[in-house]
Amino acid sequence: MRARLQNMAPQLSSSFISIALLFAVAFANFGQQAHGSVFEFSYAGLHGPANWGSLNPKFSTCSSGKLQSPINIIKNKAVGNKSLTPLTRVYKRGNAILVNNGFNIGVHYEANCGALIVDGKNYTFKQMHWHSPSEHQIDGVQYAAELHLVHLSDSGAIAVVSMLYELGDADPFISKITKKLGDLAKDACAGNEEAQIPIGPLDNKLLRKNTRKYYRYIGSITSPPCTENVIWNVLGKVRTISKEQVEALKAPLGADYKQNSRPLQSLNGRKVELYNEFSD
């Protein structure tokens, strides 16, 4: 991950530069930054999803894997599991950086900003990023956007919380960073570089509303190298996002990345489990 820091020295403190380097090490392990390979894959043409597996030997799992994401969740086929527990998410205020890595827009944090607890195991909150339209579908419905909250355990295991958005009222969290999104759109990334804009202290309480229903399955990262054995938790409650907010999330991205949702993948016999607080 090589951030375009030289042109942004007045904006970035030394602490932000240090954390950018730390994230480079952390995220390289599970491919969410695609190792700076902005032009190695895209969402259209010869470098599109159908060909990801053949673009680079490191991407072979994208075509050979059997636990790939995203999927279409069929409500009446989801299996209720009473052993599942509510998702415990403890997110706190922290200094944040808005990042355009070329294929999505995300928020990274300067320090530990909380954790997700899955089956009694802690997963540290590392970053979040958006896809539009949504990657996961429910009963064949594709939504306007999807937010992925990415968490990493000490052992390197990945757990993602997915939030789906339909068009409607503006999302309060995105509203907090709207101006910064505009600044990011003016500072387009090039080549293997990233564009970064410091946000400063960001309150994450809007991301941790009570979770009364979610779908759980084992899948993969949805961009190359498509690493598998990711614990997915797709929230049942669909939030709203305005058309202007969707456009703001797309604006900093190049033409082949504005529609940055991977096509649906086969379940290959996998089971989707359901946690529902109100079930008997």
- What pLDDT shows up at residue 9? 38
262: DSSP letter: P
In the chain, count H helices and then E strands.
6, 17
For residue 129, the cross-strand partners are: 106, 148
> Tell me: the pLDDT tens digits for 218-230?
999 999 999 999 9
Structural tokens at position 146: 């999807």
Q: Backbone phi, then psi, for 262, in 5-degree steps?
A: -75, 140
- What pLDDT shows up at residue 277? 83
Is the separation of the CB atoms in 79 and 68 below 8 Å? Answer: no
Q: How many residues does the chain have?
A: 280
> Tell me: the pLDDT tens digits for 52-79?
999 999 999 999 999 999 999 999 999 9
Hey, CA dihedral for 74, 79, 82, 84, is it positive or negative? negative
When the pLDDT of each residue in the chain is averaged and rounded to a whole number, the result is 85
Q: Of the spans 18-22, 39-43, 86-90, 98-102, which averages the highest pLDDT?
A: 98-102
More confident residue, 269 or 201: 269
Q: How many CB atoms lie within 10 A of CB 233?
A: 23
Q: Backbone phi, then psi, for 183, in 5-degree steps?
A: -65, -40
